[in-house]
Amino acid sequence: MFGEGFLRTIEVAALALMLALVLGIIFGVISTSNNKVMRGIARIYVEFFQNTPLVIQVFFLYNGLAIAGLRLSVFVIGVLGVGIYHGAYVSEVVKTGITSIPEGQVEAAKSQGFTYIQYMRYIILPQTIKIILPPLTNQAVNLIKNTSVLAMISGFDLMYMADSWASSSLDYGPSYVFAGLLYFILCFPLATWARKYEERLKRNDTTRILYDPCEEAVTC
Partner 1 sequence: MIKLQDVNKFFGEHHVLKDINLEVAEGEKLVIIGPSGSGKSTTVRCMNFLEAPTSGHVFIDGEELTQKNKIQLVRQTSAMVFQSFNLYPHKTVLENLTLAPIKLQKLPKEEAIKKARKYLAIVGLSEKENAYPSTLSGGQQQRVAIARALATEKKIILFDEPTSALDPETVQEVLDVMIKLSKENITMVVVTHEMGFARVVADRVIFMDDGRIVEEGKPEHFFENPTEERTKLFLSKILR
Q: Give residues in contact with partner 1 (CB under 8 A).
A: 102, 104-105, 107-108, 110-115, 118, 122-123, 126-127, 130, 208, 210, 212, 214-215, 217-218
Shortest gap between Cβ of 118 and partner 1 (angstroms)?
A: 7
Shortest gap between Cβ of 41 and partner 1 (angstroms)?
A: 22
Q: Cα–Cα distance between 13 and 158 in angstroms, integer?
A: 11
Shortest gap between Cβ of 193 and partner 1 (angstroms)?
A: 21
Residue type at 89 in one-letter notation = Y
> Among residues 69 and 113, whose Cβ is nearest to partner 1?
113
> Among residues 113 and 173, whose Cβ is nearest to partner 1?
113
> Among residues 123 and 152, whose Cβ is nearest to partner 1?
123
> Among residues 73 and 111, whose Cβ is nearest to partner 1?
111
Shortest gap between Cβ of 130 and partner 1 (angstroms)?
A: 8
> Among residues 132 and 182, whose Cβ is nearest to partner 1?
132
Shortest gap between Cβ of 96 and partner 1 (angstroms)?
A: 18
